[in-house]
Chains A and B, each alone.
Chain A
Amino acid sequence: MERQILVVLPHPDDECFGLSGTLAKRISEGTQVTYACLTLGEMARNMGNPVFANRVTLPQIRKLELMESCKSIGITDVRMMGYHDKTIEFEDHEAMSKRLGELITELNPSLVITFHPLYSVHPDHDATGAAVIRTLAKMPKEQRPTLHCMAFTKDCEQMLGLPDVKVDVTAFLKHKIGSIQAHRSQWQLPVDSNMVESDAMKERFGTERFWTYSFE
Chain B
Amino acid sequence: MQPIDQASVQLVIDQLKDQELYIHLEMTTGAYASHNDDSKLTASTFIRNGIIRYTLGSIEGSGPFRVGLKINEGWVYSQGLTHWDESDSERLILAGHDNEGKLVVSLQLSKEPF
Contact = CB atoms under 8 A, between A and B. Distances in A.
Given A90-B70, A92-B56, A123 B61 contact: yes
A127 B75 CA distance: 17
A134 interface: no
B66 interface: yes
A86 interface: yes
Contacts of B77: 86-87
B28 interface: no
A87 B60 contact: no
B61 A87 contact: no
A89 B68 contact: yes
A90 B58 contact: yes
B61 A90 contact: no
Interface string B53-90: 00011101100001011100011010000000000000
A90 B59 CA distance: 8
Interface in A27-46: none
A202 interface: no
A123 B61 CA distance: 8
B27 to A, nearest CB: 14
Contacts of A89: 58, 60, 66, 68
Interface string A47-90: 00000000000000000000000000000000000001011011
Interface string A80-107: 0000101101111000000000000000
Interface in A147-203: none
A84 B60 contact: no
A91 B57 CA distance: 9
A90 B74 contact: no
Given A87-B75, A87-B77, A123 B56 contact: no
Nearest to A123: B66
Contacts of B70: 87, 90-91
A86 B61 CA distance: 13
A143 to B, nearest CB: 30
A34 B69 CA distance: 30
Contacts of A123: 60-61, 66
A123 B60 CA distance: 9
Nearest to A43: B77
B74 A84 contact: yes
Given A87-B77, A90-B75, A91-B70, 16 more contacts: A84-B74, A84-B75, A86-B68, A86-B77, A87-B70, A87-B75, A89-B58, A89-B60, A89-B68, A90-B56, A90-B58, A91-B56, A92-B56, A123-B60, A123-B61, A123-B66
For the complex of A and B, list the 9 residue pairs with the smallest distance between their C-beta atoms, beginning with the closest.
A90-B68, A89-B60, A87-B75, A90-B58, A87-B68, A86-B77, A84-B75, A92-B56, A123-B66
12 contacts: A86-B75, A86-B77, A87-B70, A87-B75, A87-B77, A89-B60, A89-B68, A90-B56, A90-B58, A92-B56, A123-B66, A127-B60
